[in-house]
Amino acid sequence: MVRKGRPVAEVTLTDEERETLVRWARRAKSSQALAQRCRIVLGCADGKTNQEVAAELGIWPQTVGKWRRRFVERRLEGLADKPRPGAPRKITDEQVEQVVVATLERTPAGATHWSRASMAAESG
């Protein structure tokens, strides 16, 4: 079958890349954006067109084309978010995780729930 329109980059995966993409797509701690990008690349690697992958995932074909192109150019590193403009973050992901865990798993002494002041004092 002859395809019409602009040629698309063919996506071929190594076994290691396929394992990584499947793991990232299924992992509960992956961001939903990264998981969707992995599903896009996996669909493209199965030989599907941008339109077919887009229809399966409920997204625009242009989005599929963007992530197909980025993966072909930079492989797995191309699926990561690019740095955003603005001041760099002062709070690390580990600090955010510590506050969330403390909020969900502990209660402050002499209180039923955390306030902003009590959590700020606790977490520094």
Write the pLDDT tens digit of every residue in 56-85.
999 999 999 999 999 999 998 888 877 778
Q: Is the pTM of this model over 0.75?
A: no
Whether residue 75 sits in one domain with residue 22: yes
Whether residue 98 sits in one domain with residue 48: no
Domain that holds residue 58: 15-79
Whether residue 65 sits in one domain with residue 31: yes
The pLDDT, as a whole number, for residue 3 is 62
**Is 40 inside any structural domain?**
yes
**Is 33 inside any structural domain?**
yes
Whether residue 69 sits in one domain with residue 25: yes
Whether residue 109 sits in one domain with residue 70: no
Cα distance from N-terminal residue to C-terminal residue, the chain: 63
Whether residue 73 sits in one domain with residue 26: yes
Q: Which residues of the chain have pLDDT under 70?
A: 1-3, 5
The pLDDT, as a whole number, for residue 118 is 80
Whether residue 65 sits in one domain with residue 34: yes
